[in-house]
Amino acid sequence: MKSAVQSYLESLQDHISSSIEKADGKAKFAEENWQHHSGGGGRTRVLQDGATFEKAGVNFSAVSGILPEKMAARMNVRATPYFATGVSVVIHPYSPMIPTVHCNYRYFEQYDSEGRVINAWFGGGADLTPYYPFLEDIQHFHRVHKAACDKHRPDYYPKFKAWCDEYFFLPHRNETRGVGGIFFDYLSDDLAKTFEFVKSCGDAFTEAYLPIVEKRKREPFGEKEKRFHRLRRGRYVEFNLIYDRGTLFGLETRGRTESILMSLPKEAGWEYNYAPEPNSREAELYKCLRPRDWLNETAI
């Protein structure tokens, strides 16, 4: 299983990378190969200062070692030998009219002292973080992921959509990070079928996101919109550094710091006690920062 998953995730990294380069039309990904101190390593790919994308990261890793006690306790498992492989994507466009997007798909195995698998599971998902929301874009993103889920089980989309709303939530702000998508973790039943589901979701990513990029990249904006963009990116940073499991896992297992933190935007801002003007376009976003049944909405 682990070799099949690793092979698929490497090909997914290649597909997403080439699709992002094509959509940008100017910049190319810089690639760095790295080794993990306890085994394995990865390929970090970062694109910066493109025509459309300010910063985009598409990372692959496959690492092994002994799970640190602190991380094992957080995961509610024993500190045993492990293998983990995954692809992580975060894209920050220049334009505040184009949403930030994230996806991550991963596989994890634990072993006993004789090298036998004692635990194995998949996790992952994709979510959208707009700044100036357009209902049709939000619905497109959700519709594509629902179709990927529905190929496998009809209960997957509602279950994993709700899980996404719960996971990508900033309790200290009392708001969701964005407008959600799907999220799941610790899926361990029937690994072969779950792997097929993960592949459907991974393959759906570019279809879910790139049409939004193409539609919005010519929308006008000015310094007012960029200021709001920077402030909202600050919330993205807060989530990734305080709550994100992938960030915490990478740091706890002493992964490559630059690769782990590629998810952060080049520019973000924090202004004391900021609040949008009532009835402004900026205020409209805050209507979106709570769980909503997006596929059945008729207005923001």
**Which SS3 state, helix, strand or coil, does residue 22 take?**
helix
Using the Cα atoms of residue 250, residue 60, residue 128 and residue 76 in order, give the sign of their dihedral: negative
- One of 15, 36, 92, 102 is an active-site residue; which one? 102
Please say whether the beta carbons of 114 and 169 come within 8 A: no
Smallest CA-to-CA distance from 46 within 87, 15, 98, 89 is with: 89
**Which SS3 state, helix, strand or coil, does residue 112 take?**
coil
Please say whether the beta carbons of 204 and 182 come within 8 A: no
Q: Measured between alpha carbons, how far is residue 222 from residues 129, 213, 219, 266 in Å?
A: 19, 18, 10, 18
Smallest CA-to-CA distance from 40 within 60, 68, 62, 8 is with: 62
**Nearest-10 crossing angle of helices 191-216, 135-150:** 160
Smallest CA-to-CA distance from 206 within 39, 7, 36, 14 is with: 14
Rounded Cα distance, 208 and 215, in Å:
12
Paired tokens of 98: 């184009």
- 102 included as an active-site residue: yes
Q: Catalytic amino acids?
A: 102
